[in-house]
Structure 1
Amino acid sequence: MDTMRDRFAATVSGLLDTDPRLAVVLADIGVAGFAEARRAHPDRVINVGIREQLLVGTGGGLALAGMRPVVHTFASFLVERAFEQIKLDFGHQGTGGVLVSAAGSYDWPAGGYTHMAPGDVALLDTLDGWTQHVPGHPDEAEALLRHAVGAGDAKVYVRLSAQVNTVPRPVAGDGGFLVERQGRGGVVVAVGPMLDNVLAAVEGLDVTVLYAATVRPFDGAALRAAVAGGDRADVVLVEPYLAGTSTAAANDALNAVPHRVLGLGVRRGELRRYGSIEEHLAGQGLDPRSLRERITGFLPGAH
């Protein structure tokens, strides 16, 4: 299977051939994947070097000129380092573009904390109007990227991951949670690449599982439908980034229903021993065994 980043480069390179409004802005990272596209479209594949604030500022300038910019680098540099430029050069200027990140939480553990950004979705959530996609498979990434590029002047963030689910799910650019399975003992919302681990964790449990490849806008209607009919709602959110990022959104969706929400994800404390992705998942309590313990501890009716 190709990776999400492989699919990103191939998909957007193909779109450059057919959409004269499209431009790609890079900051050294990912340049090799666009080598052929850069030869074919030297004026619309731009590498600014290791200058991330300039990366986002260039994207904002292209948007002001009527282009549809796709801006790419690691999440720690794209969202955290250049956050002010995102806030001003897109938000304040009223422009749109597609931000595409990689290595969000711990996709490259050997890179250390400088190359990790578990808070990226939460940080962008402080800004108005950003659609945020978290695909769990390269096929989903391609579908969401195509929709994002063609979404007029919308502001879209696509979070690519090295962790993937075995089987892709049908996704739509306008969001919407999918019902993976139904049960009576509570609801578990699995975001993007967390789905396989969640399904393994809840095997044999009487719970509903919802799948989210788009987290903003948050599909409150689907969550309300999943808990309908009960006198209370117990919900577990399993996200591949900062724990609790979507807890407020879930609480807002269920404000008319007595409910409890448990947000599972990457803890705030830094893991300073860098191993494999699987070891980081276990260290964060996001492997199937740990998830089962945490889910069953919170959902008494799941057994």
Structure 2
Amino acid sequence: MDTMRDRFASVASRLLDEDPRVAVVLAEIGADGFVEARRKHPERVINVGIREQLLIGTGAGLALTGLRPVVHTFAGFLVERPFEQVKLDLGHQDVGAVLVSAAASFDWPAGGFTHMAPGDVALLDTLDGWTTHVPGHPDEAETLLRHAVAAGDDKVYVRLSVQSNAQALAVDGTHFRRVREGRAGVVVAVGPMLDAVLAATEGLDVTVLYATTVRPFDTVALRRATETAGAVVVLVEPYLAGTSTSAAGEALVDVPHRVLGLGVGRRELRRYGNVDEHLAAHGLDAGSLRERIGGFLGAPQRV
């Protein structure tokens, strides 16, 4: 199976052929995937080199001319390093772009903390008007990328990862999907965390919601799930723990509720290791999730 990033390069290249508004802006990273596309569309495939502030500024400039820029690099270099440009060149100027990241929270542990970005979604939450997609499979990444490019001139973030669920589900770029029914709590699994959540909650009497679009937060889906499963909610996110707890709290503001946010911890893990070791260290493997979710919910069993 190809990775989400492999799929991104092929889909974005096809979008360049299909839509004369689409432009791709790179900062060296990922350029090898667009060699043929750049030959065919030299005026709409732009590599600015290792200049992340210019990456965002160029995307904003293209948007001002009426193009739909797709801007790509590692998450830390796309959201964190040029954050002022994201805030001003896109937000303040009120123009849109599709920011497509790679490397996620710790996809390339050998790169060290400079190449990790567990706080990217939380950082974008400080800005107004962003849609955030977190696919859990390459097929979902393709669907959500096409949805993002077609979304008028909106500001959209698509967070790609090497982590992937075994099977793709139908996603629509808006709603959470209910994948398991229960009566004693709601677990929201975001993107590539679904398989681990399903394994962790096997035999527990809980509803599982699958979220691949986390902003805007699907308030309606969460409220409906709590009507039958109770207002005890666990959020399992592949980025900074607690990123969506405030969104869940706002969704249930008029309902007595408890919310637990699980995700990547703030403590920096200074040994490189591998992805599975990082997941385990942050308590995001299936065994750790079962213990943490069961403890919070009181481990209700199915009958």
- What TM-score, normalized to structure 1? 0.98
Q: How does 1:18-97 map to 2 (within 5 A)?
A: 18-97=18-97
Name structure 2 gaps, 5 residues minimum: none
Find the residue that maps to 1:241 and give its secondary structure: strand
Question: Displacement of 1:217 after TM fit?
Answer: 0.3
RMSD: 0.8
Find the residue that maps to 1:76 and give its secondary structure: helix
Match of 2:263 in 1: 265
Match of 2:185 in 1: 186
Aligned: 1:206 with 2:208? no
Q: How does 1:168-183 map to 2 (within 5 A)?
A: 168-173=168-173, 175-183=174-182
Match of 1:276 in 2: 274
Residues 186, 301 of structure 1: 8 Å contact kept: no
Residues 184, 301 of structure 1: 8 Å contact kept: no
Give the Cα separation in 1 of the matches to 2:71 and 2:4.
15
Give the Cα separation in 1 of the matches to 2:157 and 2:46.
19
Q: How does 1:242-261 map to 2 (within 5 A)?
A: 242-261=240-259
Match of 2:195 in 1: 196
Instruction: Report how many aligned residue pairs link the two structures.
Output: 301
Runs of 4+ in 1 over 4 A off after TM superposition: none
Question: Displacement of 1:229 after TM fit?
Answer: 4.5
Give the Cα separation in 2 of the matches to 1:273 and 1:202.
30
Q: Provide, for residues 88-124 of structure 1, a one-character-per-residue CA deviation record: whole Å limited to 9, x for no partner.
A: 0110001001000011200001100000000000000
Find the residue that maps to 1:228 and give its secondary structure: helix
Give the Cα separation in 1 of the matches to 2:56 and 2:291.
42
Aligned: 1:125 with 2:125? yes
Given residue 169 of structure 1, which amino acid in structure 2 is its aligned partner?
L
Residues 25, 70 of structure 1: 8 Å contact kept: yes
Give the Cα separation in 1 of the matches to 2:75 and 2:118.
9
Residues 72, 101 of structure 1: 8 Å contact kept: yes
Match of 1:146 in 2: 146
Match of 2:225 in 1: 226
Select 1:299's aligned residue among 294, 297, 300.
Answer: 297
Question: Displacement of 1:302 after TM fit?
Answer: 2.1
Name structure 1 gaps, 5 residues minimum: none
Given residue 127 of structure 1, which amino acid in structure 2 is its aligned partner?
L
Given residue 205 of structure 2, which amino acid in structure 1 is its aligned partner?
D
Give the Cα separation in 2 of the matches to 1:219 and 1:99.
21
Aligned: 1:237 with 2:235? yes
Give the Cα separation in 2 of the matches to 1:15 and 1:223.
34
Given residue 248 of structure 2, which amino acid in structure 1 is its aligned partner?
A
Question: Displacement of 1:273 after TM fit?
Answer: 1.1
Find the residue that maps to 2:284 and give its secondary structure: coil
Find the residue that maps to 2:164 and give its secondary structure: coil
Given residue 234 of structure 1, which amino acid in structure 2 is its aligned partner?
V
Residues 183, 205 of structure 2: 8 Å contact kept: yes
Select 1:289's aligned residue among 278, 287, 290.
Answer: 287
Give the Cα separation in 1 of the matches to 2:300 and 2:207.
9
Residues 183, 228 of structure 2: 8 Å contact kept: no
Residues 293, 299 of structure 2: 8 Å contact kept: no
- What TM-score, normalized to structure 2? 0.98
Give the Cα separation in 1 of the matches to 2:228 and 2:287.
30
Give the Cα separation in 1 of the matches to 2:183 and 2:169.
23
Q: Provide, for residues 161-190 of structure 1, a one-character-per-residue CA deviation record: whole Å limited to 9, x for no partner.
A: 0000000011112x1000010011111000
Match of 1:15 in 2: 15
Question: Displacement of 1:301 after TM fit?
Answer: 5.3
Given residue 202 of structure 2, which amino acid in structure 1 is its aligned partner?
E
Aligned: 1:109 with 2:112? no
Give the Cα separation in 1 of the matches to 2:179 and 2:269.
32
